[in-house]
Amino acid sequence: MTDQAPDVGYAPGLQDFDGAEHPTTSKLAITSLVCSLFLCCPITTILGPIFGIISIFLIGSNAARKGKGLAIAAIIIGVLATAGWIFAGRWGWSNVYRIIMTGPNAALEAGYAGDYDTFRSDFRGQGADASDAEIKAFIEQLSARYGAFDTAIIDESAQQTPTQQNQEFVDLPYLVKFKDGSNVIAECRIFMVDDNKQLNVKLDFIHFDLGDGQSIVFPPGAKVDDPPGQEESASDGEDSA
């Protein structure tokens, strides 16, 4: 009866009978690449390069371990993805979140400082095309009634009407504070998209209700009670009749 050698199979990291060693792939390198490729989460795109650097250090010159290529790819992808998240965050703050949360704050700061170009840049339509004289008259009205401007922030305590699906604008109340201690509610209409249906958050008007039918509004003549296009639709209906 002949003796037969047992079938030991392949075990990673073990030597063959000829003494050759099969290198194993670093699990940390694999994890780093998976994290970097999970692009929808900024936390994982930060962890990916960190794990990649650690895995390269652990692999070193060890011939029994491999995965440096995976780790390097994880570092490159993770760094680029993280840079993209940072850019997107800065853009979102400047163009969306700031205007939603602080409404007229930046515009009023610029207006009180006499920087009318920056004031106009936060508006669309008539507000963006307003003259220096119109902006100056609006600021002078506020200054004469309330004094120096302090800050403005969204009034979360006020009851807000939910935005309808596909609605391009929303009316929101803001608490406007002046340095003499006055706290005034201003209503702002904020458009979410431009005329080309691209995301571009801008103010449409600022409205201070003084009571007794009086108000301070910018731009002059803004229709604060009617949705945009309502008057045109009504007139079209009358013409067709």
SS (H, E, C) 178-198: ECCCCEEEEEEEEEEECCCCC
Q: Is residue 152 part of a domain?
A: yes
Residue 170 located in a structural domain: yes
Domain total for the chain?
A: 2
Could you tell me if residue 41 is inside a domain? yes
CB 67 within 8 A of CB 97: no
Co-location of 126 and 196 in the same domain: yes
- pLDDT of 138 reads 96
Residue 157 lies in a domain: yes
pLDDT band at 192 (very low <50, low <70, confident <90, very high): confident
Q: Which domain holds residue 51?
A: 24-93
Q: What is the mean pLDDT of residues 130-138?
A: 96
Q: Tell me if 209 is assigned to some domain.
A: yes
- Average pLDDT estimate for 4-17: 45
In a domain? residue 115? yes
User: What distance in Å separates the CA atoms of residue 19 and residue 60, rounded to the nearest whole number?
Assistant: 22
Same domain flag for 183 and 140? yes
Is 0.75 topped by the overall pTM?
A: no
- The distance of Cα 149 from the centroid of its chain, to the nearest Å, equals 26
In a domain, 98, yes or no: no
Residues 136 and 222 in one domain: yes
* Selection from 156, 164, 42 nearest residue 92 by Cα: 42
Residues 123 and 223 in one domain: yes
